[in-house]
Structure 1
Amino acid sequence: MNKKYLYLFLLICLITILFFGLDNDILYAKTGIKRWIPFIIIFFVIPFLMFNFLNKYKVKGKTKFALSLIPIIIVGPLFGLWSGYLSNKQLNEDGKFTIGIVSEKFKSGRKSGSPGVWLVKCKFEVDNEMYITFSKKDKANLYRIGDTLNIKYSKKNPQNHIIVELE
C-alpha cells in the first residue's frame, strides 16, 4: 500500500471500529481506562491520523490544523447518537426490570454560581452482582438515600441501564 494512503486507511479502520467494533464493556464502562477509550480515539487518535494524512498532501499551517479538527466535530456527535441508539435498542430488545436503591445523592453546579442540580446514583443487583448507575438528575429533588427506584437493564449487559423514574 502506498504510504500516502496508510493514514487514510488507518483513519477509516479506526472510525469503523469505533462505530461497529467496540465491546459493551467499553461502551458502558464507568471506571478505568475502558471508559476513556472512545474519548481518546475521537479527540486524539483520529485528529492525529487526519493531521498526518494531510501532511502527506503537503497541506500547510492553520488549514491543516483546522481540517484535522473537523473529524472531532463530525465523529464526536455521531458517535454519541450511535451509542445512544445502540443502548436504547439493546434495552428494548432484552430489557428487564429490577429495583434499585438510591445510594448517593449530591448537588452539582454550585461552583459556577448556578443553583446547581441534584444528582442521584442507585445500586441494583443482577445475578448476585452489584451494579451502580451513572449519576442522573433529580430535577424535582424527590428522592432520598434509601428510596427505591425502578431500573431497566439489559439482560446481556446490566451495565447498560436506565433509572426509569428519571428518564
Structure 2
Amino acid sequence: MGRYLTRRYVAIDWDEAVRLAGLDQTPIAEIRYAAEAELIHRTEWWAWWSDELLTTAIGLPESLQPQGLSPDAVDLITDVWESNSLFPQCGWSLLAQVQHILSIELVLGSGQGTERLLTWEQLTVELGDGQQRVLYRVWGRSDEGYSCQICTELPR
C-alpha cells in the first residue's frame, strides 16, 4: 500500500499527498513516503501502521477501514490520543499489542469538583503473545482539558 505523510496529514497516493501538502503548507520535497507501510487499524481520528507509526486518519479514503487491533488496544490508544498528552510514556507499540484489559484497580485519586483531579489506575493487561503486563493509567483534569498518560511504572 505505502503511505505518504505531510506535516499534518496522511495519504496513500501521490496526488492526494500533493493536495494535502498544499493545505498544510508542506513543501513537496518534504512529503515523506514509506513504501512498505501497511494500514493495520483505522478509527475516525487515528491510524496504526505496520511500521508501528500512529498517524492521523485525516486524508485516508473512507473505504479503508481495517480493524487489526483489539477493542481494548483501541480504547487505550484513544484515551491518550484524545487527551492533551502527546504520546504515552510506555509507547504506542506497547498499547497496540494489548489484547485484553484483565483488571483495573484504583491506585490514587485526588481533587474534587472543578479542581485539578488526578487519578492513577493499575491495569493488568494481556498482550498478543499471551504475556501479562502491568501498566499505569493516570488521568488529570484541569481548566485546560484533560490528560491521559500510560506508564510502565508509578512515578516516585
Task: Tell whether the structures are fold-level matches, with TM greater than 0.5.
Answer: no
**As a proportion of its length, which structure holds more strand?**
2
Answer with 1 or 2: which has the greater Rg. Answer: 1
TM normalised by structure 2 equals 0.23
